[in-house]
Every structure is written in C-alpha cells, then in structure tokens.
Structure 1
Amino acid sequence: MDDNKKSYSGLKGFLFGILFTLGIMCILFLVKNRDYVMGKEMNPTELGARTKVADIYELIEDVYLGEVDNKKMTDYMCAGLVTGLGDKYSTYYTQEQFEKIMQSTNGHYSGIGVAIYQDSQGRILIESCYENTPAAKAGIKPGDILLKVGDKPVSSMSTNEVVDLIKDTKEGETVSMTLERGDQPYTVDVTIEEVEAISVTGKMLENQIGYIRISEFTGVTAEQFKDAYGKLQDQGMNRLIIDLRSNPGGLVSGVCDTLREILPKGLIVYTEDKYGNRSEQNCDGKSPISIPLAVLVNSSSASASEIFAGAVQDYGTGTIVGTVTYGKGVVQDTYQLKNGGAVKLTVSHYFTPKGNNINGKGITPDVEIDMPDDSEEDVQLNKAKEILLH
C-alpha cells in the first residue's frame, strides 16, 4: 500500500513537471510570437529577427562568462535597432539623455545662466551672462576668463567638458568658480538653479535697423522674440533683420508661434505622414509686419529655421539673404518608452505654404551671398542692411 502511494505520488510529480515545462514553453512562444498569435501577419524576416534576439539573450544567460549589465545591453540593442533604419534623424535616447533633451527643447535647464566660448589661445571665456540668473547675481560678467570649476583647472578642457563639469552639481547646490577679470583673479560660489535658456537676442543697429538673432526654436523662443521685437519697436525701429544663420531648428510649435508675430493671415506650414494625413499650422494675421524685413540664412540653417525662411519667402514678407539652407524637410516626434528612454522617429514631411518640399534641396535665398572665411566684416549682414536701405 505504501509503495503504491509512493508510485502514485511520483507519477503525479512527473506529470506536473511535464505540464509545468509545457506551460513555460507556451509562454516563451507567446512572448516571441505574440503578434502572430494575435492575428497580426508577420513576415519571416520579422519573425526571425525577434526569435534571434531572444536566442541571443538565452545564450548570454547560459554561457557568457563575464558580468552582464542588462540595462547597458538593452540600451545598446535599442540604439542599434533604430540605427538600422538608416535615418540620420531617428535616434534612441537613454533615460538620462532624454531628460537632457527635454530640458533643452523646453527652453529651461539646470545651470548658472552663462554662455561660454573658447578663444584661439584655448582660454574659456564668458560670452554672455543673462539677466537675473545665478551667475549675474554672483557678479560674473561677459569677458571674464574662467580658470577653475571647483578645484579643477579648465585650461585643457573643451567648452562641452566645462559645461558638463558645472552641470555635475545638483540643482540647489553651489559650485565654486575661479575667474579672472583684468588680470585680477576672483572666486565666487554660484547656486545651480533652473534657468531659462536665451535663444533670442536683439539690438538696434544704425539707421534705426533692428537686429534679432534667433539661435534655435524652443518652447520659450516665441515669447523671447515678442519681447525683443516689442523693445525695438518702442525704440523707433523702421527696418528689421532676423538672423537665422547656423540655427539648427528645434520645435515646430516654437517657430510657428514666432511667425505668428509677423505673418499675414494664412497657412504657415503643413505636414503629411506616411498615410497621407495632412496637418496644418495657420496664422490669424493679427499683427503682420509692416516694415521692410530681411532674413539671414546659411547652409547650417535647418529644419524649423527653414520653415521660418520658407514662409517669409512664400508670402513675400521679407527678403531672404545668404546661402542655400541645409535642406531638412522632415519632422520627428519623440516617444517616451514605458521602461525608460525614448525614441525619436521621422514621421512626416513638411511643406512651405506654397507646397514646396525642401528636403535635400534647401531654400535658395532671394539674394545669394557667401561669407568669405578670411573676411573681417560680416558681408551678409552688410548686404541685408544695403537691401533694406534701398
């Protein structure tokens, strides 16, 4: 009787083991082939690729000798998958990279509120210090030479390395900076805060010609443009130059909101996705510009900058001056992933108000003029002034 019980118990355990193994195999099959099971048709290449990835994971778990960093391995795999599209505008971002990108495009970041540059001698200088920022409150001024961040000399660093060094300090904490002004070194403690990135600057040139420089289009660009534009109007501006040279683009919403300050009523830009769905951005035309306008562009003016130049050119609102633009006539959307990170994918073409697709071609200026490398003067800016005065 006891032997029968043992046999029965052993058989039950054996059958349970078989059923458990079959259950695991079914789950693995469903994970690998979920689209197929749910009725979605999959071609052999797609099915093979998914199976291959699962096989590689299993091999790594079974036989790989070294330590496995699953997060790093996953990030590299995702990056490789997007790179395989062969589209230079589509990108995979890690969670850390995505957070930095979002700060940049929104127009806010954790920092001290300065722009820096490296001169021909390799020195790091303060190019500009924005109003009401931690740097300005600490007494830092344009032209100051940065010597140290904390106890680290910056003389052998690039500007990007210096920026990263400053950003290593968390928001709310202070960073010690040693600078030099007129051969006199001084040290200040600057608190890291959320500051608004300055993408628009303006000034009055001779003959009451206003000048506005837009370095990129972010979530705060339109408001900064409106402020600069209004100040120049208050100063009696009767002509305007908008400088988009080397502006890489940015947000479509940012450029459209900026254009709404100067365009007549009508279409600003429209996009079409892979299915032919059309989306339009329009202007109500409440404040069309009423003074002569020139827009400066070059081969590094791209994307949103080309939307700006294309709309101004199509409406005849101003004269485009410079060299043929970059030719990026496609739009990307960024999708945040559930488990961290994000993917930026090209999702549509954009067209100027007259229906021009400038992708790979760029916008040809109304007045083409190169900027010689050895020129001591800004010949493109001078040409824009000349056009506006005649």
Structure 2
Amino acid sequence: MNITKRGLILGTTALAVSSVAITGFGLRFSQSQAFFKDSPKELVDEVWQVINGRYVDATFNGEDWREVRKEYLGKEYSDKEQAYEAIREMLKKLNDPYTRFMNPEEFKTMQIDTSGELTGIGIQITKEEETNNIIVISPIEDTPAFSAGIISKDIIRKIDGKTTEGMELNDAVSMIRGTPGSSVDLVIEREGEMMNFTITRAKIEIHPVRARVEQSPDIGKFDYIRLVQFSSNAAAEMKQAILEGEKNNVAGYILDLRSNPGGLLYSSVEIARMFIDEGRIVTTVDRVGEVDAHSANGTALTNKPVVVLVDGGSASASEILSGALQDHKRGIVVGTQTFGKGLVQSVRGLGDGSGMAVTIAKYLTPDGRDINKQGITPDIVYEMSDEEKEVLIQDRLKIGTIDDAQFKKALEILSQQIAQKPN
C-alpha cells in the first residue's frame, strides 16, 4: 500500500464485504410472487411493475414511466443477460443509486451480507448523485479494507487499473468482489491526493456488537458498546451487552455508532426499544404519504444515562437510532455530522433468482426530521485533530479507549450526565 496523504479519519461508514454492495441502510425484505417463465421480456416487465407500484418518487425522476415500459417491452431479448442489461439501463433513468438490480449471484451475495457472513474486502460503496463518482460509504471494522486504511468519502478512481469514470455501481461491485486470498488494486482519491491500495480479499465473520464493562474513577462502572452494523443478529447481541451492563450495575452507557453504515430497519427499531420505553422511534413515509410508524413498546432494558458517538460514517439505521435517542432526550449525541441517508429500500426476489432493491420510502425521526442528505447534528460536536486521528490510524485497538479523543469526550459527557441524574 502506498499512501501519499496522511491524516486519515476513523473509518466512517459501511457495510458490505463480499460485495461492497449497498446492502444496509434500512432494508426490508419481501419476495416477488411473479412466476418467471424463461421469458427475458417477462422479467423486464416484472421489474417495471415493481417500480411502478412501489417507488418512492411518483414522478419517476420526471420520466414518463408508461412510455419507458413501451420502449423496453418493444425490444427483443435473446437471453437473460440482455434483459439484465436492459433492466439496469431502465433503472438508471431514476437516478437513484439505491434502487438497483442484482443478478442471481449478486442477489445471493447481498442476502449473505445482511446475515453477518461476508467475503471480500469489507467496504460499502455508492454512486454519488451530483458527481457520479463511486465513493466509499465506509469500511467495516476488522476487515481488509479497514486495516488498509480505506475511509468514508474516499473516491474510487480505478479498480485493477480500470477507470471508474462512467462505471455502473454494479460493475464496480463485481470488480471489487472476489474469492478469499485474491487481491484487488484500488486507486483512491482523498482530498485531492491519489493513493494506491492493494487489498487481499478474505472471508469475514461479523459480530456486530463489541462490549465491555469498564471502571472509571469519576463515575464507577460504565458499559462501552460498539455497534458496527445493524445485521440480523445485532439486536440479540445488543440485548446481551445491555443485560451484562445491568447485571454489573453500571452507571451509564457509551454507545459507539461511528463507522456504522446501517443495515436492517427492524434491527434499529428493536435496539432503540432497549433504551426508549415509550413514544415514536421512526416513521416511514411512502410516495402517497402513507405513514408507517414504529414505536417503543414498554420493553426498555435500562434507564441509565446514554452517550452516543457518531461520525460521517454513521448512516441510515445508525441515524434512526441516534436521532430517536436525541429527539427523546434519552441520549447525548457526540461527534461529527452523520452521513445523511434517510431512505428505505425494499429488497425482493424476482422470478429467475435475481433480485432488486427499490427505494420505497423516506424515514423521519420522532420529531419529524428528514435527515436525507442532511444527517444528524450532534448535541456536542467534537472533531478530532489530525494528530488525534493519527493515533487511531496507527493502532486500531485504541478505538474506544482513553487514547481515542472522541471516546474520551464521550466519557466526560457521561460523567456529567450521571452527576446530574437524580438519585
């Protein structure tokens, strides 16, 4: 690895490994009922129907969606590959990087991604709407990309020598993904500087929660919980971590959501219910204004003070959780502005084993805030200096320790919150 620019930021937002795909971020799963009869044209129409019925933007990005159907059903497709290409071309008209088609192999990989069993380099990428750049949302902790120093907002300029200019997101995903033990060369642009990375792919087992009970001279015992991904097993691991804290009679909690790109919507709701006993957690609003509200249900596991750490890599489900804790004044949010992804995707299988993710709604915090492209502003903004960042770059094991400046700030705020809490 050749890095020409120093001053990296603590990993800042991500998910996929085996693919690098857009797997997280408030996903909801459903299964298509359509029957694929070995007709490529029928598959094209199936995708068109899904968009027509569910897509969040009723204007379809200003496209005459019925005319689009005529255009693509008026073509002949000799095989499924031609149909796949036509579908990707059709979806491109929506100008939405989160609405995408996956061939059977990509769809299978995406399903594995959300289960917590991954292979690849450990990043999630997206295509930036304004520039069409392929950018890193974030690396997952303890993955090859994370260890190599890839960070949120990195622009991927080349993959194995091929420029990403004009490249489709799915193509970038396919090029970065690969078998464990093989390597991929990336040219990254960061703050105007070009860097070369050679990263070896690996099979990665993701445990989304890392927790430990610690002792502080100021506040006694506290529970530090780092949540790196809202996967299907995140809620169960979070429950175990909180119950361990309560068993040890901790005075409060530090919940670290830095570099957490999101994941499953229901996972963020379940975890929020462990801290919030009553009231709304998140509201999703579809294209006709139909509201689907998720609320607390009286099952909170603790009422102890909470400090939440966030950064530019905290996205989607992380923003749902931190936004809910902030709006309910249940937790003090510390760190830097979050990523700003307030959209919900539904993932569904198609008749031939392929699949698609379609943006079906936007979500609002309990106070009605739409954070898409805005993010969550921390109650206490704490931006690390280049020197403080470098400490964590040189030794990732110092994340969540007293050598981690943002963690140290969170501990200071937690101490104040505990002191102010009535006995």
TM-score normalised by structure 2 residue count: 0.60
Match of 1:380 in 2: 406
Match of 1:389 in 2: 415
Same amino acid, percent of matched pairs: 31
Match of 2:11 in 1: none
Match of 2:84 in 1: 75
Matching of residues 157-236 of structure 1 within 5 Å: 161-163=200-202, 197-207=206-216, 208-236=221-249
Secondary structure at the counterpart of residue 257 of structure 1: helix
Distance 2:345 2:291 in 1: 15
TM-score normalised by structure 1 residue count: 0.64
Query: By how many angstroms is 1:89 displaced?
Result: 1.5
Match of 1:125 in 2: none
Match of 2:269 in 1: 256
Q: Does 1:96 align with 2:122?
A: no
Query: By how many angstroms is 1:155 displaced?
Result: 11
Match of 1:292 in 2: 305
Paired residue type of 1:283: A
Residues paired across the two proteins, number? 283
| Cα RMSD, aligned residues only | 3.4
Distance 2:295 2:89 in 1: 38
Q: 1:281 aligns with which of 286, 294, 300?
A: 294
Distance 1:32 1:205 in 2: 55
Greater Cα offset, 354-363 or 380-389: 354-363
Distance 1:121 1:304 in 2: 25
Question: Are the structure 2 counterparts of residues 71 and 161 from structure 1 closer, same or farther at C-alpha, using a change threshold of 3 Å?
Answer: farther
Matching of residues 20-169 of structure 1 within 5 Å: 49-53=68-72, 56-57=75-76, 70-108=79-117, 115-117=142-144, 161-163=200-202
- Which runs of 5 or more structure 2 residues have no equivalent in the other structure? 1-41, 49-62, 121-140, 150-178, 187-196, 392-402, 417-423
Deviation per CA, 1:349-386, whole angstroms, max 9, x where unpaired? Answer: 11111111111211111000112232124211110001
Verify the 8 A CA contact 1:32 1:51 in the aligned structure 2: no
Verify the 8 A CA contact 1:105 1:218 in the aligned structure 2: yes
Verify the 8 A CA contact 1:117 1:159 in the aligned structure 2: no
Q: 1:310 aligns with which of 316, 323, 326?
A: 323
Query: By how many angstroms is 1:300 displaced?
Result: 1.3
Verify the 8 A CA contact 2:340 2:376 in the aligned structure 1: yes
Secondary structure at the counterpart of residue 374 of structure 1: helix
Distance 1:285 1:106 in 2: 28
Question: Are the structure 2 counterparts of residues 320 and 75 from structure 1 closer, same or farther at C-alpha, using a change threshold of 3 Å?
Answer: same
Query: By how many angstroms is 1:330 displaced?
Result: 1.4
Verify the 8 A CA contact 1:118 1:159 in the aligned structure 2: no
Deviation per CA, 1:35-78, whole angstroms, max 9, x where unpaired? Answer: 9xxxxxxxx965654454456537xx6xxxxxxxx233222222
Verify the 8 A CA contact 2:104 2:352 in the aligned structure 1: no
Question: Are the structure 2 counterparts of residues 255 and 56 from structure 1 closer, same or farther at C-alpha, using a change threshold of 3 Å?
Answer: same
Distance 2:309 2:82 in 1: 45
Secondary structure at the counterpart of residue 76 of structure 2: helix
Distance 2:184 2:44 in 1: 53
- When you count helix as a share of all residues, which structure comes out higher? 1
Question: Are the structure 2 counterparts of residues 50 and 362 from structure 1 closer, same or farther at C-alpha, using a change threshold of 3 Å?
Answer: closer
Larger RCO (CA under 8 A, 6+ residues apart)? 2
Distance 2:318 2:43 in 1: 44
Distance 2:244 2:66 in 1: 61
Secondary structure at the counterpart of residue 296 of structure 1: strand
Structure number, greater radius of gyration: 1
Secondary structure at the counterpart of residue 281 of structure 2: strand
Distance 1:319 1:307 in 2: 14
Distance 2:98 2:185 in 1: 32
Deviation per CA, 1:315-370, whole angstroms, max 9, x where unpaired? Answer: 11110000111111111111211122111111111111111111121111100011
- Which runs of 5 or more structure 1 residues have no equivalent in the other structure? 1-29, 36-43, 62-69, 123-148, 168-194
Query: By how many angstroms is 1:247 displaced?
Result: 0.6
Question: Are the structure 2 counterparts of residues 348 and 48 from structure 1 closer, same or farther at C-alpha, using a change threshold of 3 Å?
Answer: closer
Verify the 8 A CA contact 2:182 2:201 in the aligned structure 1: no
Distance 1:380 1:373 in 2: 13
Distance 1:293 1:374 in 2: 27
Paired residue type of 1:57: E
Query: By how many angstroms is 1:117 displaced?
Result: 3.5
Secondary structure at the counterpart of residue 385 of structure 2: coil
Match of 1:242 in 2: 255
Deviation per CA, 1:239-288, whole angstroms, max 9, x where unpaired? Answer: 21000011101111001111111112121111110011111111112325
Q: Does 1:365 align with 2:404?
A: no
Q: 1:331 aligns with which of 334, 344, 348?
A: 344
Match of 1:354 in 2: 367
Distance 2:379 2:348 in 1: 38
Match of 1:180 in 2: none
Secondary structure at the counterpart of residue 312 of structure 1: helix
